[in-house]
Structure 1
């Protein structure tokens, strides 16, 4: 009764547009009413969970992402990519995808990536006569790269929930992210064949002096992922320490080098990030309690029995897991979806021989794709606002990118474990 009622309540409330943390709060009230404990009896579970030192990295990376978004740190990265490929038809689109990948590796946030890169690139794309709906859809489709390219808040949570090596979780989606970038660019190039009025950017001449000048301007921005990832994988810093270093590095770069922030606007940016962090931490608190209760009620075993009642074929089971994760991702954000899905679906995946690190890549690609999959598609609606483009013009191109880029990436990641496991085994085999 508790499992079924909890799932029905959360699904109905999310479909009605209620905030995730409110929906899970309602589930918590329901559990307290029909269970054998008061609400206060469940609070220690959530309080213990959010006190984890590992989770401290999430708000720190959010603050760093907010500083970079407002501090004009992404603009020189975009200009550098544009210098290389802007003179090619589709080059500005490809630069947008690459910029999403680079900025995502710094911020670890799909929303921050979409807001920053979309705001920078769309005026350039409109001026060059690129199709507005297709260009906005491409940026939206590329923005979840912030969830796949390390560091990623989602993988910090997954490693913590699944008790796996966080650095291996980071690395599990690097190759899938490269595949996704490649497929997005190829698909977009194919879709641009019918557009003949696109204006190309002239390549600077002489090229090398211009490249060196732009490289110097982009250098501090490019150093950030190198410092963070080099420190983490070099064994110098933990992810939490790296997140703190990211904040300390981003502040002087944004204020004194790129001059996108002042000390006053920095305080406002940190305040805005604090509001987001508060919402996220309350959501994690609620979802942890509900998830722990569902586990204690036997939800993982019930889900496993239901899946095996349909088929015991590993291929069919993995396809079913993917469908469930896509549905979860369509209803809620990546963090709450991950916290709910991991303890329930990971045992099922392991029962058919899926390595937990491989599953980190599967769930990462799934939840990234779900954020742009209609009808809910939170990134699609945010992209419509950022790119000043009606959702109706973005919908069909987005579906094409899902079918020809995201779904192939998901299938390759699901059924070729080496794509997720090779890099972690290579770099962290000890």
Structure 2
């Protein structure tokens, strides 16, 4: 019996051939041995874990490089601080020389005070990743005290009530702060303090404005006024050694002019001008009445604790799955005038110059230790980067062995699949040709 066979038997083989060919092409084009879970389900799970570790190592090195940048910024600020301290030391030695007249020492002290201003400015303006590494958290004002820009509108008069409280703070680095007060006959007085309790301008504690609240000595003001809610550090202590009651002076890097309390002479106005301030200042108006006040300024600094992160910086150094994260801690290295013990130093006399020299030597030691701290941390983070690089290389190799395609093997298998496919096509073509010849013969017989 004559029979005609179709291509159905070769259909299954053709599908397998196409699948094998597609798999080889996919692996060669992607470079990966595992392109789906069906390729190697166990290998896929292992490769995903290794990929997570690879990404962790990569990000850890980025974090460590950020930490190195942070330390370099802080150390750079300290380097300039050390240079300023060396110049201050030179001036102190020069001022000790007995040939200097009063005017000579006054000229030396003028530069000395400006250098103190610059020293504080470096501390409050050395910013790294929204941190102030050279300013202690206690040197920054509490968020409980509004900034002068929140309390006042620049150049606009307003009415306020006085009391035993802080009404505003002036961020470090501000310029040309002008406060004009009219006390309406109630004898309210402007007071200016530092965060650690130094009384820079205002009326002494013997004045009636303070006595109305029972504040008559340092213990009383420390117990009732120097509170965190008023913006003062917990260790604030009263110091009026440089109190400016009237006139102009540069005190600890803060340039201030003050008309003083003129109420006794019938003048109800007080005018305070802070040309520049190297540290945050707290403004209060002490009294029991109400007053009208206008505050204006050219610019406000950014040394505001509300805008900066507090505390130490923890740099991620290792992160092991299932184990946890290790950190390299970069603590702050406060280098303000207060932290360096240079707040009240001057060169107005030989004895003051001698005292300043002692304080400067101590400050240089503090700055040197802080620079050494950052240098050690930079080396520690660099070592962690090198260690992570070794781990990353090993993990990458292990990941590649599982996921990467073997190009030589896949190319050979692709060639094999192509030969089989082409042979199959050739056989099917020949079979189809034979079928057509048989059918043609049958047609010709039936036609006869």
- The interval holding the TM-score normalised by the smaller chain is under 0.3
Larger radius of gyration: 2
Q: TM-score, normalised by structure 2?
A: 0.24
Which structure: greater helix fraction? 1
Q: TM-score, normalised by structure 1?
A: 0.25
Which structure: greater strand fraction? 2
